[in-house]
Structure 1
């Protein structure tokens, strides 16, 4: 089964000529690594957060969205992850892509220019029509929510 190929326009923002463009780090990588375009090193104290620039903007086709997600290595080694994860970039957004990072670790973490800080996964968005009804179809689960199965 062949997959659709989409063109996504990327614009490097002025002053960021040295910052790498988003890139897949292996042949089958789902995400594109994003790089910090900070002008000076940015230190995140434990419990603090910052909006980190990436130095680029993009134009997604209408049927796509981009999701900004944590890098597993930063989360595991340093406790640094993304808030609002996954963060959604809509097809009509044309501003700089930024990453909201938080330090959940016990020590300060410094973000250097051109450091890989997150990953971006681009997904198709189906066209959906919400239909208001008076009753919903029944299922075995029904209204069972958080922890309803009794598992730990």
Structure 2
């Protein structure tokens, strides 16, 4: 099934490309920094970086803002709240909460590819309160419960 997602460049960002799939098999659309001028993201620092567009998605779809693997590997730069969620009813500017976990200042320039956007279907879940849950062999075993 194919979904139609409407996208609108925000004023002042006409020079930037729309989010782009970099290959035919890519899951994500690369997002570009819509900043007025270059700055350096210092080690340990995070900053909200606008992407220069807004979306209109059909109900039942979400967009996830995820790190770019190359930035993470080469520079230690990631998305702080990965994956960031863009809900179907949000109409504001899509932004990226970029975080420098590396050891060097990271330059961010207008038009740099800073993250990727992956679209996912949202399961139609209804929460129903109950007094009892079915037992399983795992039970309440959580973090590290297998000993590894």
Using structure 2 for the length normalisation, give the TM-score.
0.98
1:138 paired residue among 135, 138, 143: 135
Large movers: runs of 4+ above 6 Å: none
Question: How many aligned residue pairs are there?
Answer: 148
Unaligned stretches of 5+ residues in structure 2: none
- Equivalence map 1:11-90=2 (5 Å): 11-90=8-87
Partner SS, residue 77 of structure 1:
helix
Report whether the alignment pairs 1:116 with 2:95: no
In structure 2, distance between residues paired with 1:111 and 1:22: 17
Cα separation, 2, equivalents of 1:71 and 1:24: 12
Post-superposition Cα deviations, 1:33-84, rounded to whole Å, max 9, x if no partner, equal 1010110002101011110011100101111000000000001100110011
Q: Distance in 1 between matches of 2:4 and 2:46?
A: 33
Q: Gapped runs of 5+ residues in structure 1?
A: none
Instruction: Please say if 1:98 is aligned against 2:89.
Output: no
Q: 1:75 aligns to what SS in structure 2?
A: helix
